[in-house]
């Protein structure tokens, strides 16, 4: 069962004239499983709709959430994976964390035709910035997507 929460903060008016909750956060914790990726995509879509995000930003966040949930499931051995979205004035920050230890799968490939091992490159292509921290407490990835 997913643990989903949302916190509210200041509202601002977007370029379209609709309210957008700047500073609002949305948090979701799931079991690190194959089902986490589609559930995170749904969670991100719901937050994007609530915050009136541009379609391109929402799409980018869904791809990033999916890739990071899949990486956690395939490579970390963590029982859970955690996602937080932060609605900033010019960007959305997505943070995904787990408590596992990174395990290389050996499936990475530099070929543009590869079907595995391209996740971090895909995230780099969608995000304005990416930070990855791996340590004894697990892996934490933070990406920023421009609105």
Which pLDDT belongs to residue 134? 87
Residue 113 pLDDT grade (very low, low, confident, very high; cuts 50, 70, 90): very low
pLDDT digits (tens, 9 = 90+) for 16-45: 444 558 899 999 999 999 999 999 999 999
Residue 46 pLDDT grade (very low, low, confident, very high; cuts 50, 70, 90): very high
Kindly report the pTM of this predicted structure.
0.78
Q: Can you read off the two tokens belonging to residue 7? A: 């916190």
pLDDT digits (tens, 9 = 90+) for 51-84: 999 999 999 999 999 999 999 999 898 999 999 9
Beta strands in 8-137 (DSSP E): 11-13, 19-21, 25-31, 80-87, 91-98, 129-135
pLDDT digits (tens, 9 = 90+) for 126-145: 999 999 998 888 999 999 99
10 has a pLDDT exceeding 70: no
104 has a pLDDT exceeding 80: no
114 has a pLDDT exceeding 80: no
């Amino acid at each position: 069962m997913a643990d989903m929460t949302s916190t509210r903060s200041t509202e601002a008016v977007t370029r379209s004239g609709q309210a957008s909750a700047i500073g609002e956060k949305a948090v979701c914790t799931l079991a690190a499983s194959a089902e986490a990726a589609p559930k995170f995509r749904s969670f991100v879509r719901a937050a994007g709709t609530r915050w009136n995000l541009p379609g391109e930003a929402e799409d980018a966040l869904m791809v990033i959430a999916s890739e990071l949930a899949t990486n956690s499931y395939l490579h970390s051995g963590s029982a859970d994976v955690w996602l937080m979205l932060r609605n900033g004035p010019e960007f959305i920050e997505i943070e995904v964390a787990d408590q596992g230890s990174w395990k290389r799968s050996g499936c990475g490939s530099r070929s543009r035709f590869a079907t595995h091992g391209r996740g971090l490159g895909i995230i780099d292509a969608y995000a304005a910035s990416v930070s990855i921290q791996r340590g004894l407490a697990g892996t934490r990835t933070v990406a920023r997507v421009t609105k």
